[in-house]
Structure formats: structure tokens, C-alpha cells
């Protein structure tokens, strides 16, 4: 019996360790642009049924309950929390934030694979195209948007229209249209790092539309979306997870002490 205690408590410690890893990653990304925190979900394991509910008792009547002993827990899944992060004003004309639902679609220049992000810290590459501001890989917006070399100012409307001010021209000239992607199941997206997601069979294919249409959010120029990690809540979860780990470790110690006691009794 106490041997099972060791294994059951060990599953709890293992699950708590995984949850601790999730919390640590959330806290590490507290300043990551447009980061979406994760939540660890638990589920119980199989049960040892010593007496099944509903078996007939001595009076040939079904028992109202049975005797079931659980065998521990495990991590069921980690779910992404896509709630809106705080929109922070930067004043930079190539910083854009999504107010509402949607992802920016980008193309990886090495693999030509479509990727998606909420981080709108844009920049202009050597060819004049708008790219995600990364020091590692310049990923083009999809559809691509080229900024003229003589552009004096860039304006991005709430519906994604990109216009520029050129010398000698009073009116803004539209040079492109930013589109946003949405998914039937955003939780099915694969996090690949660098603020990027990849679509999977679970998320289904991306549906591209202009901002402000089909339930998509609007674009706010001169702003960036902050991480939606809530430090106070994460610290509370950190404390409860630590306490849960300690309680499971005490169950292991209790099981070990019982085994020692039984072993000593056998000597007499």
C-alpha cells in the first residue's frame, strides 16, 4: 500500500514541476512584446477499483458507492491565454498593435513558410519592404508592402491601409494593405519562439481579412501590445505550486516511513 503512495505522490511532484516550468516561462516573458501566457491543466490518472459502485450487497441490493483509489495526476495540456495585453504608446510610426482579434501574417525568407505573430514592431529592410524587426531573420509581411525610398512619413490606418508622404505631393499615397489572420482554434497554434506561431491541423488554415472586418481587430499605429502576463497572479500560482510540490514530497516521506516501520516489525 505504501509503495503505491510513493508512485502516486511522485506523479504529483512531476506534474507540479511541469506547472512550475510553465509559470517560470510566463514570468520570464513578462516584458516580451505581445506574449500570451500559458496555463497548465491537470487530469487524474486511472483508479484501482477495489469495489465497483452498484455491486449487490448481502441483501441483493446495489451498493450506492464503491471503493476507488486514485493513482495520481498528470498534465492534461497547456493552453494559451489570448486575452488582450495592454496597449502601450511608443510614438514610433512603424510600431503597430492589434486591438482585438487577429495575427500579423509573415513569411520566413529561408523556408518560405507562413508564420503568424501579434508583435508589431516593424522595420524596413534593404529592399524597402516592411519586415518584423528582428536581428536574426527579416520576415516579410504577407502580403508584402514596399515603402518608397523617398517616403517622408508613413501612415497606417486602423483598417490596415499603409500610406506614405512623398516630396512635392500633398496627399498621402497608398502603397499597401496590411491583412490580419484568424483561426478557428487559436489554441491549436504551435509556438516556435521569436514571438511566432505556426498553424497546425488543430488550428486549421489561416483566414486572412482586412483589419476591422470579419470580427478582426483594428490596428493602432505608434503602439505595441504588451505581454498579458499578470505578475501578481503568477506569483500566487508560484507559491501554491511550490506548496503542492512540498506536500507531495511529504507524502513520499510518509510512505517511506511506513515501509521502514513495516520492515522493522517483520524482524520481531
For residues 238-262, give the mean pLDDT: 89
Question: What would the pLDDT profile of 62-109 be if each residue is shown by its tens digit?
Answer: 888 888 888 999 999 999 999 999 999 999 999 999 999 999 999 988
pLDDT-above-70 percentage for the chain: 98
pLDDT of amino acid 268: 56
Where exactly are the structural domains of the chain? 2-82+229-265, 87-225
Compute CA distances 101 → 91, 94, 193, whole Å.
22, 20, 20
pLDDT-above-90 percentage for the chain: 75
Question: What would the pLDDT profile of 196-213 be if each residue is shown by its tens digit?
Answer: 999 999 999 999 999 999
Compute CA distances 120 → 32, 70, 153, whole Å.
12, 47, 18
CA dist., res. 193 & res. 177, Å (int): 26
Q: Is the pLDDT of residue 1 over 80?
A: no
pLDDT of amino acid 2: 63
Compute CA distances 192 → 41, 67, 116, 226, whole Å.
21, 45, 10, 19
In a 13 Å sphere around the CA of 199, the CA atoms on its Cβ side amount to 20
For residues 251-267, give the mean pLDDT: 79
Question: What would the pLDDT profile of 127-186 be if each residue is shown by its tens digit?
Answer: 999 999 887 778 999 999 999 999 999 999 999 999 999 998 889 999 999 999 999 999
Amino acid at each position: 500500500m505504501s509503495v503505491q503512495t510513493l508512485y502516486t505522490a511522485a506523479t504529483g511532484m512531476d506534474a507540479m514541476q511541469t506547472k512550475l516550468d510553465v509559470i517560470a516561462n510566463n514570468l520570464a516573458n513578462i516584458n516580451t512584446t505581445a506574449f500570451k501566457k500559458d496555463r497548465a491543466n491537470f487530469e487524474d490518472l486511472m483508479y484501482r477499483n477495489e469495489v465497483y459502485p452498484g455491486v449487490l450487497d448481502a441483501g441483493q441490493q446495489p451498493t450506492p458507492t464503491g471503493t476507488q483509489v486514485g493513482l495520481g495526476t498528470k498534465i492534461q495540456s497547456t493552453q494559451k491565454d489570448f486575452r488582450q495585453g495592454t496597449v502601450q504608446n511608443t510614438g514610433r510610426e512603424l510600431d503597430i498593435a492589434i486591438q482585438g482579434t487577429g495575427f500579423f501574417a509573415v513569411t520566413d525568407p529561408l523556408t518560405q513558410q507562413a508564420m503568424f505573430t501579434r508583435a508589431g514592431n516593424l522595420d524596413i529592410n534593404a529592399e524597402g519592404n516592411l519586415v518584423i524587426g528582428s536581428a536574426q531573420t527579416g520576415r516579410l509581411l504577407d502580403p508584402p508592402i514596399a515603402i518608397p525610398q523617398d517616403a517622408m512619413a508613413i501612415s497606417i490606418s486602423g483598417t490596415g491601409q499603409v500610406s506614405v508622404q512623398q516630396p512635392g505631393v500633398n496627399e498621402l499615397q497608398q502603397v499597401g494593405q496590411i491583412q490580419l489572420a484568424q483561426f478557428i482554434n487559436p489554441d491549436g497554434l504551435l509556438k516556435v519562439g521569436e514571438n511566432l506561431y505556426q498553424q497546425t491541423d488543430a488550428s486549421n488554415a489561416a483566414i486572412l481579412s482586412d483589419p476591422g472586418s470579419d470580427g478582426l481587430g483594428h490596428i493602432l499605429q505608434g503602439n505595441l501590445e504588451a505581454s498579458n502576463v499578470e505578475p501578481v497572479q503568477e506569483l500566487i500560482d508560484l507559491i501554491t505550486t511550490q506548496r503542492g510540490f512540498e506536500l507531495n514530497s511529504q507524502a513520499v516521506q510518509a510512505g517511506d516511513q511506513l515501509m521502514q516501520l513495516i520492515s522493522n516489525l517483520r524482524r520481531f
